[in-house]
């Protein structure tokens, strides 16, 4: 639509966790809804090459793209809002920047020069930002800079923004600065000082904010907006309030009401029209007006931190809206589950999801949970480690292979029903070496999976090292656990299901990464539907008993 690619840089002040990712995604949605081709990129100032080696307690879930990049969870928001896949290029960390600069140095590409933060690191950052723009696939690139302005680790990024604004020329690159406007309840007042200070900090690095997005608990009155505009060198129309919302899916409409898209487009010298967000609003309407509710147990070991299972929780929101039901999630810590308390913890649930994970902690609880839902015919969805636990449970309790295990937990076990693939055995490095990204999967004729996906073959995203051991497949299938999805090239088992059970599916991949507002994931939609049916049946059975 435009001849030059335009750039929007989103920075944050005072504190991180102000919701830059959601603001970026909401703005992108509004621009996309006016016909612009938009993508979002996240720059993370930490030294890990990617978040793949990080514990979920650090930055929440690790999100995975089709091309197998292990990325920040904000990319999940971008995909869920825009319904456009992201890729490795959409997430860059300081670690990756340094890694490529150092590799270039080793190859002699700097021709004997001293390699320095400015210009070499900043040039690499600029190249990474512009590589998306140069692809020709987008009209607008929104680059979100993680962390807080003023932090030592953010400095090279802010310097790169300063240079890029200069290189790109007026109206081609703008800066949105997110700040907090705290409310002091004792004084009954909203305070503008933190915003003034962080705009000043940004200016000390030579970057003037064009637009302020102010996170607030209360409406910003007119005089306060005027004051902020005056002190921060922005137009009054460029002071945008971001009031706390009950759901992140309200934020695009809140930004529309505040005119964020209009100010942005004006600054970029682009045409602005009325965004068409009808489909989005239909989703919101269904999400906010459920006709019934179900309760799903989420069995995992990182349940203390909601962000650890971000994409799963969001996929439930999409699937709930699709079914017009409210999905209540009950987090269940797998470490505290045992055969003694399992009935108490699970019997009231309408469905159970056993979550992905790594390592031994909490796995016996997961196996107990699978046994309970299998025997009591409660709908079950097992994802990745959750699927592996379902296979182990079936082997132990149905096939009576008592020592069945995964070699991840018991490297020398005699019955490794889950084990490492040959090509994983010699890998010693941890980062980026799992089976990652989108892989093909053929669905078995007549299976539940095929019926749910309404397709013969699918592509889903993976992030794991261990696999279903095909040596046990025949025994498993004869006893009733069917491999209903297979990788066509390797024969690896991607889906297992129990035809004798009303709804029991384990998937080796992560369906949650592909669920979006526009395309709720079919497995989650079907799982919630099964939970509704279970609830109805259960209620009728209890009534009949009375």
Annotated binding site: 16-22, 57, 74, 144, 151-153, 191-196, 227, 245, 357, 385-388, 408, 465
Q: Which of 128, 137, 34 is nearest to 84 (CA)?
A: 137
Compute and round to an integer the Cα radius of gyration of the chain.
25
Q: Which residues line the annotated binding site for CTP?
A: 16, 151-153, 191-196, 227
Answer for the pair 248, 485: CB distance below 8 angstroms, yes or no. Answer: no
C-beta of 388: minimal distance to ligand GLN in Å? 6
Residue 100 or 424: the one with the smaller Cβ distance to ligand GLN is: 424
CA dihedral 296, 297, 302, 308 (to 10 degrees): -10
Report the distance separating Cα 192 and Cα 228, nearest Å: 7
Residue 147 or 416: the one with the smaller Cβ distance to ligand GLN is: 416
Query: How are beta strands 140-145 and 38-44 bridged, if at all?
Result: parallel
Residue 19 or 356: the one with the smaller Cβ distance to ligand GLN is: 356
Answer for the pair 355, 361: CB distance below 8 angstroms, yes or no. Answer: no
Query: Does the annotation count 510 as an active-site position?
Result: yes
Please, how many CA atoms are within 13 Å of residue 132, restricted to the half-sphere of its CB?
Answer: 27
Q: Is the peptide bond before 429 cis (omega within 30 degrees of 0)?
A: no
464 binds ligand GLN (CB under 6 A): yes
Out of 13, 19, 146, 356, the only residue in the binding site for ligand GLN (CB under 6 A) is 356
Report the distance separating Cα 169 and Cα 520, nearest Å: 40
Residue 185 or 426: the one with the smaller Cβ distance to ligand GLN is: 426
Out of 74, 124, 210, 408, the only residue in the binding site for ligand GLN (CB under 6 A) is 408
354 binds ligand GLN (CB under 6 A): no
- Cβ burial, residue 359 (10 Å; 0-12/13-18/19+): exposed
Query: Does the annotation count 512 as an active-site position?
Result: yes
Out of 46, 110, 231, 358, the only residue in the binding site for ligand GLN (CB under 6 A) is 358
Residue 265 or 363: the one with the smaller Cβ distance to ligand GLN is: 363
Distant-in-sequence, close-in-space partners of 66: CB < 8 Å, separation ≥ 6:
85, 87, 437, 438, 459, 461
C-beta of 431: minimal distance to ligand GLN in Å? 14
506 binds ligand GLN (CB under 6 A): no
C-beta of 2: minimal distance to ligand GLN in Å? 40
C-beta of 447: minimal distance to ligand GLN in Å? 22
Three-state SS for 205? coil
Out of 9, 302, 453, 466, the only residue in the binding site for ligand GLN (CB under 6 A) is 466
C-beta of 415: minimal distance to ligand GLN in Å? 17
What are the Cα distances from residue 271, in Å, to 30, 263, 274?
A: 13, 11, 10
C-beta of 8: minimal distance to ligand GLN in Å? 33
Out of 357, 379, 485, 506, the only residue in the binding site for ligand GLN (CB under 6 A) is 357
Residue 162 or 464: the one with the smaller Cβ distance to ligand GLN is: 464
Residue 280 or 309: the one with the smaller Cβ distance to ligand GLN is: 309
Residue 156 or 356: the one with the smaller Cβ distance to ligand GLN is: 356
C-beta of 383: minimal distance to ligand GLN in Å? 7
437 binds ligand GLN (CB under 6 A): no
366 binds ligand GLN (CB under 6 A): no
Q: Which of 255, 246, 221 is nearest to 24 (CA)?
A: 255
Selecting among 384, 393, 501, 532, the annotated active-site residue is: 384
Q: Which two tokens stand for residue 149?
A: 């302005």
463 binds ligand GLN (CB under 6 A): yes
70 binds ligand GLN (CB under 6 A): no
Of residues 375 through 394, those in contact with ligand GLN by CB under 6 A are 384-385
What are the Cα distances from residue 154, in Å, to 55, 93, 175, 202, 208?
A: 22, 11, 15, 11, 16
Selecting among 59, 77, 510, 521, the annotated active-site residue is: 510
Answer for the pair 284, 54: CB distance below 8 angstroms, yes or no. Answer: no
The residue range among 228-236, 460-468, 481-489, 519-527 that interacts with ligand GLN, by the rule CB under 6 A, is: 460-468
Answer for the pair 396, 404: CB distance below 8 angstroms, yes or no. Answer: yes
Answer for the pair 543, 420: CB distance below 8 angstroms, yes or no. Answer: no
Report the distance separating Cα 9 and Cα 424, nearest Å: 40
Q: Which two tokens stand for residue 185?
A: 């309840």
33 binds ligand GLN (CB under 6 A): no
126 binds ligand GLN (CB under 6 A): no
Q: Which residues line the annotated binding site for UTP?
A: 16, 191-196, 227
Q: Which residues line the annotated binding site for L-glutamine?
A: 57, 357, 385-388, 408, 465
Selecting among 318, 322, 512, 521, the annotated active-site residue is: 512
Cα angle for residues 456, 460, 512 (degrees, 5° grid): 120
Q: Which residues line the annotated binding site for Mg(2+)?
A: 74, 144
Site size toward ligand GLN, by CB under 6 A: 10
Answer for the pair 327, 319: CB distance below 8 angstroms, yes or no. Answer: yes
Out of 162, 177, 465, 535, the only residue in the binding site for ligand GLN (CB under 6 A) is 465
Three-state SS for 495? strand
Active site residues: 384, 510, 512
> Contact positions toward ligand GLN, by CB under 6 A?
356-358, 384-385, 408, 463-466
């Amino acid at each position: 639509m435009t001849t030059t690619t335009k750039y929007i840089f989103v920075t944050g002040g005072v504190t991180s966790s102000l919701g830059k990712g959601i603001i970026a995604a909401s703005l992108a949605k509004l621009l996309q809804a006016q016909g612009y081709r938009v993508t979002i990129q996240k720059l993370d100032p930490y030294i890990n090459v990617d978040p793949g080696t990080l514990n979920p307690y650090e930055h929440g879930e690790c999100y995975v793209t089709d091309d197998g990049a292990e990325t920040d969870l904000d990319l999940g928001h971008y995909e869920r809002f825009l319904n456009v896949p992201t890729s490795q290029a959409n997430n860059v960390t300081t670690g990756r920047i340094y890694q490529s600069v150092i590799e270039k140095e080793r190859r002699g590409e700097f021709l004997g020069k001293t390699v320095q933060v400015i210009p070499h690191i900043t040039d690499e950052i600029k190249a990474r930002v512009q590589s998306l723009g140069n692809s020709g696939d987008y009209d607008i690139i929104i680059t979100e800079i993680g962390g807080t302005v003023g932090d030592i680790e953010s400095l090279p990024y802010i310097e790169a923004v300063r240079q890029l604004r200069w290189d790109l020329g007026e109206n081609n690159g703008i800066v949105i600065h997110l700040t907090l406007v705290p409310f002091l309840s004792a004084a009954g007042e909203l305070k503008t000082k933190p915003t003034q200070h962080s705009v000043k900090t940004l200016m000390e690095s030579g970057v003037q904010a064009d637009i302020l997005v102010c996170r607030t608990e209360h409406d910003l009155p007119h005089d306060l907006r005027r004051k902020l505009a005056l002190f921060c060198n922005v137009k009054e129309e460029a002071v945008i309030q971001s009031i706390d919302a009950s759901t992140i899916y309200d934020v695009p409409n809140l930004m529309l009401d505040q005119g964020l898209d209009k100010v942005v487009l004006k600054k970029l010298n682009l045409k602005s029209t009325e965004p068409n967000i009808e489909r989005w609003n239909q989703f919101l309407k269904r999400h906010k007006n459920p006709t019934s509710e179900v309760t799903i147990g989420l069995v995992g070991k990182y349940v203390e931190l909601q962000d650890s299972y971000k994409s799963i929780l969001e996929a439930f929101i999409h699937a709930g809206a699709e079914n017009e039901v409210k999905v209540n999630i009950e987090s269940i810590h797998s470490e505290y589950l045992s055969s003694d308390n399992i009935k108490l913890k699970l019997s009231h649930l309408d469905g159970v999801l056993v979550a992905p994970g790594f390592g031994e902690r909490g796995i016996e609880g997961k196996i107990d949970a699978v046994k309970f839902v299998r025997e009591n015919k409660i709908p079950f969805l097992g994802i990745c480690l959750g699927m592996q636990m379902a296979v182990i449970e079936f082997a132990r309790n149905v096939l009576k292979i008592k020592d069945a295990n995964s070699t991840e937990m018991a490297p020398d076990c005699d019955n490794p029903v889950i084990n490492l693939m040959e090509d994983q055995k010699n890998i010693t490095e941890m980062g980026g070496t799992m089976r990652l990204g989108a892989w093909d999967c053929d669905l078995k004729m007549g299976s539940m999976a095929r019926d749910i996906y309404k397709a013969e073959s699918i592509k889903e995203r993976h992030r794991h090292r261990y696999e279903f051991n095909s040596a046990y497949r025949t025994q498993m299938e004869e006893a009733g656990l069917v491999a209903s999805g297979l990788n066509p090239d390797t024969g690896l088992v991607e889906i297992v299901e129990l035809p004798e059970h009303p709804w029991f599916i384990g998937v080796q991949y992560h369906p949650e990464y592909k669920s979006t507002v526009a395309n709720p994931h079919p497995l989650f939609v079907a799982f919630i539907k099964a939970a509704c049916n279970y609830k109805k049946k259960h209620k009728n059975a209890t009534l009949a008993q009375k």
